Amino acid sequence: MKSRQSIFFYLTIGFFLFWRLSIDLYYPFLNSDGPWTLSHLFSFMRGDYQSSIFAHEYLGQNFKTHVLELLLFPLYYIFPTSTIAFIIVNFIFITVNIILIIFILRRNSNNSLIHLYFVLAYMFSIYTYGTRSETYIITILFLMILISNAH
């Protein structure tokens, strides 16, 4: 990328990411799906390894530990369980996903405008900021694409 294009590219991404983070921190609202889908993680952190007591208590002890819980356990162990922690962890994964999108696209194309369009399409998706498991799972998918495209 040329230097003026790269400055514009990173300033645009940084502006929209900072704008969304500041709005989320100023108006901290979580939809119920985010904490609901992480119910097994919080049960796992309490020591109930096969339960999902917060959201799926009626199902009993039938949950097994999944990759998602192992991936998120260190982050939710460090941060206190609060609305701000959900937002911060979500934005950590959003930032990692943006970096992975840039790495994947740079291997296949040198057109910085296409890179910007793909990153902005990801950033403006309604699923990106939903605090559901899609944001965490897409990180694993991007890593698999990046590893499989390694030359």
Spell out the SS3 assignment of 30-75: CCCHHHHHCHHHHHHHHCCCCCCHHHHHHHCCCCCCCHHHHHHHHH
Phi, psi of 63 (to 5 degrees): -95, 140
Per-residue confidence (pLDDT) for residue 67, from 0 to 100: 72
- Two tokens, residue 132: 């559901």
The pLDDT of 101-117, averaged and rounded, is 83
**Alpha carbon distance 149, 11 (integer Å):** 28
Per-residue confidence (pLDDT) for residue 96, from 0 to 100: 94
Question: What pTM value is reported for the model?
Answer: 0.79
The pLDDT of 19-37, averaged and rounded, is 76
Helices then strands, counting H and E runs in the chain, come out as: 8, 0
